[in-house]
Amino acid sequence: MKARQVLVFLCSVFAILGAVWLLFPSEGIAAGPLQLRFSSYQRALSEAKEHKVNVDSVLTAVESRFAIKRDTLSFYKEFFTSNPDRIYLPGDDYTFFDPVFEAFETQADTAIVRVAHYGDSQIEMDRISGELREGLQKRFGGGGTGMFPVKGNVPSASISRSATENFTQYTMYGDSTTLRAPHNRYGVMAQVVQLSGGGTVTLRAAKGKSVKEGVKQFSSISVLYGRASKGFSVKVVSDSLRPVPVQAVTESGAGMLTWHFSHPVQKASLYFRGSAEIYGISADASVGVAVDNIPLRGCSGTIFTRISPSLLKESFALDNTRLIILQFGGNYMPVARNSQVIASYSEQIQKQIAFFHEAAPQAKILFIGPSDMGKSVRGRVVTWPRLPEMVDSLKAVTLRNDAAYWDLYRMMGGENSMVQWVRHSPALAGPDYIHFTPAGAQKVGETLTRSLLIYHDFYSLRKEISPEKVKKAFSKE
C-alpha cells in the first residue's frame, strides 16, 4: 500500500470516528440486553467543565480562617454567617450551645460531662471522635476513652477489652449474623449484653506513638446496667484500688456503678456476679469531659426510635450526657434514587431528632451530614448524583427541629472533592471513595473541634460584653 493510500485510509478512519464522536448519543444505544456507549462530544465538554477541587487550597483556607484574630464581634458575625466550616444553628441562634458550654465549665470540675458521638463506619476506630475528645479535654479537662460496649464487632483504637463467654451481645444494627434481642432495651449504645451467672471483663488502655495521650490511662470506671438479679455485684481490681465488691440495687430501669482510683491506671478487671443487662462500660478521668465513640456499622441513623425511651432517658440522665452528635446519611445514598426517597429519609431523621429531644432534654443535638462520596459513572469517579440534594434536605430538616448542623460535604470542598482527597499525598480518603484515612479523619475531626470551640470563644466573649451590644452587632439591619 502506497503512502498516499495509507494517509487517505487513516484520514477516513479519523473522519468516521469524529462523526461518531459528534453524533453518538451521550446516553448510549440499547442493543438487546447491552448498552453500547462511545465517547461523545457532550461528555468531552462536561469533562472540560468538571468541577475540580484543590484539596491543599481548601485545607489552607481552613487554616487561615481559624487563624484570624477572634476578639471582635465582627469576626464572629462573619464566621457564623458565611464561613463554610461553621456550624449551622437553628434560627441563627448564637446562644444555641450555651447550655453545653455552661455544663462543661461549671460541672466538669466536679463530675463527668458526656458527649455521645453516634455515626456509621466513618467514625470507627475513634476517627473524628478522637480529635473532638482531645480538643474538648484540653480545654475543659477530662481523660479516658469514654463509654464502650462489653463486647464489640469493631475493635477500639483507644482501649482493648476481653470478656468471658457468659456475656451474650445483642445489637440493633449489623447484618443477619448479629443477634437481635427479644426486647427493646438496647441502651445508649444501641446494643445490650446479657450477663448470666457472672463473668469477667479486662480493660487495657491503648499504647503506642499514634495513640493520643488522653486515652492512655483512666482514673474511674462506670458500669451502666439494668434488670439486675438479686445479689448482683461487681468487683473492680487494679493496682490502685482495694477490691471491694459493690452491690447493685435490683431495678427494672437503668443503674450506674462507679469506681474512682487513687491514681490513673492502664489496666483494670471487672468481676461480675449474678445476672444483669449491661449497656456499657466507661473508662474516664475522675472529672471532666468524656467523649463516647459509638460507631454503628451499616446504620443509616434511623434505628433509635426502636430503643426503649424510658431506658434511654434514665441512662442519659445517669451519665450526664449534654451533647449528642449524629453523623449519618452516607449509607443511604445507594438507595436515594429520587427526591421522594430523600424526603422520606429526612423525615425519618426528623423522628430520630425528636426522639433524642425527649430522651435527653438536657442535651443539645448536632447533626453531621454525609461527606462527599465518589461513584464511577461511565469510567469517571464523580460525586453521587443526588448527594448535594441529600445534604441540603438533611440540613433543612435538622435546623427546623431545633438541632445544629455541620456541613462536612462543603467543608471538604463540595462537588468532586472526595476524588481529590483520595488522590492527595498523603491520601486523605481510601480507594472506596467513601471512607477517610486516619490522616483525613484527623483533618475532619480537627476542623469540627475548632469550629465548635469558636462558639465557646464567643460564649466567653459575651460574658464581658453587654447583651445589647452583642444584639446590635448581630442585627441584620
- Shortest CA distance to 193 belongs to which of 184, 203, 181, 204? 181
Cis ω before 149 (30° cut-off from 0): no
Is 207 a residue whose pLDDT tops 50?
yes
Helix (H, G, I), strand (E, B) or coil at 438: helix
- Say what the pLDDT of residue 41 is: 47
Q: Residue 450 belongs to what H/E stretch?
A: helix 438-462
Residue 46 banded pLDDT, cuts 50, 70, 90: very low
Mean local confidence (pLDDT), 370-398: 95
Write the pLDDT tens digit of every residue in 401-449.
Answer: 999 999 999 999 999 999 999 999 999 999 999 999 999 999 999 999 9
User: What are the start-end ranges of the E strands in 227-354?
Assistant: 233-237, 246-247, 254-265, 267-273, 276-284, 288-295, 321-327
Q: Which residues of 193-221 are buried (b: 16+ CB within 10 A; e: fewer)?
A: bbbeebbebebebbeeeebbebbbbbbbb
Is 284 a residue whose pLDDT tops 90?
yes
Q: Which residues of 319-341 are buried (b: 16+ CB within 10 A; e: fewer)?
A: bbbbbbbbbbbbbbbeebeeeee
Residue 378 vs residues 26, 375, 416: alpha-carbon distances, Å: 10, 10, 15
Write the pLDDT tens digit of every residue in 157-166.
Answer: 999 999 998 8
Is 133 a residue whose pLDDT tops 90?
yes
Mean local confidence (pLDDT), 130-146: 97
Backbone angles phi, psi at 441, to 5 degrees: -65, -35
Q: What angle do CA 206, 210, 214 make, to 5 degrees?
A: 55
In this structure, the number of other CB atoms found within 10 A of the CB of residue 299 comes to 21
Share of the chain above pLDDT 90, in %: 71
Q: Which of 20-29, 274-283, 455-464 has the lowest mean pLDDT?
A: 20-29
- Say what the pLDDT of residue 116 is: 99
| CA–CA gap between residue 262 and residue 61 (Å, rounded) | 46
Share of the chain above pLDDT 70, in %: 86
In CATH terms, 53-111+320-477 corresponds, of 3.40.50, 3.30.70, 1.10.3470, 2.30.29, to: 3.40.50
Mean local confidence (pLDDT), 195-217: 93
- Say what the pLDDT of residue 23 is: 61
Mean local confidence (pLDDT), 253-274: 93
Domain positions in the chain are 1-49, 53-111+320-477
CB 156 within 8 A of CB 205: no
Q: Note the pTM of the prediction, 2 decimals.
A: 0.89
Computed over every residue of the chain, the mean pLDDT equals 89
In this structure, the number of other CB atoms found within 10 A of the CB of residue 166 comes to 15
| CA–CA gap between residue 349 and residue 33 (Å, rounded) | 39
Q: Can you read off the three cell numbers belonging to residue 384?
A: 453521587
DSSP per-residue string spanning 330-364: GGGGGG--SHHHHHHHHHHHHHHHHHHHHH-TT-E
Helix (H, G, I), strand (E, B) or coil at 424: coil
Residue 144 banded pLDDT, cuts 50, 70, 90: very high
